[in-house]
Amino acid sequence: MAGLNLFQMFFLALILFLPSGFLGRWLAEQKGYSATAWCWLCGIPALIAICGAPNKHSEKIISELKRLLENKSGASKATPFTPISPFARNIGETWFCKKCSEENPLTTPHCKSCGEYK
C-alpha cells in the first residue's frame, strides 16, 4: 500500500496531462504555433514552454496598431476639436465654440466665427 498501482497512475496522468495538453494546444494556436504538436507534447513542462514562447502574431498586431494610430493622428490634424457636449471648452488661454468648434481667446465672450456666446 506504499506505492501507486497502475490504475491510480493512469488516472493521475489523465487528470494532470490531458487538461494541460489541451490548454497548451489552445495557447499554441493563440500564439501562432502548431496546435497539434503542442497537444501531443502534453504535460506541465510543455505548458510552461508555450507560455514562455514569443507570440508570432505580435509583429502583425504592432504594425496594425501603428497604422491605426497614424490614421487617427491624421484625422485629428484635419479637425482639431469636435465638441461632444453643448458647453464651451476652455483649454489654456482659449475656448472652443460649442456650435462651430472655432478656437477663441478667453477674453472674448462670443465666437469670432459664428457669433455664438460662450
One domain, residues 59 and 91: no
For residues 26 and 11, what is the distance between their CA atoms, to the nearest angstrom?
23
One domain, residues 17 and 72: yes
One domain, residues 50 and 93: no
Q: In this predicted structure, what is the pLDDT of residue 1?
A: 46
One domain, residues 68 and 83: no
Domain-embedded: residue 1:
no
What is the pTM for the complete model shown? 0.40
One domain, residues 22 and 48: yes
Lookup: cell for 79: 479637425
Q: Which residue segment(s) compose the domain that 28 sits in?
A: 13-76
Per the structure, the count of domains in the chain is 2
Domain-embedded: residue 45:
yes
One domain, residues 20 and 59: yes
Q: In this predicted structure, what is the pLDDT of residue 88?
A: 52
Q: In this predicted structure, what is the pLDDT of residue 40?
A: 66
Domain-embedded: residue 100:
yes
One domain, residues 56 and 99: no
Q: In this predicted structure, what is the pLDDT of residue 78?
A: 46
Q: In this predicted structure, what is the pLDDT of residue 81?
A: 53
> H helices within 32-104, ranges in order?
35-40, 44-52, 58-78
Mean pLDDT by 10 residues, the chain (118 residues): 74 79 82 75 72 77 82 56 54 79 86 85
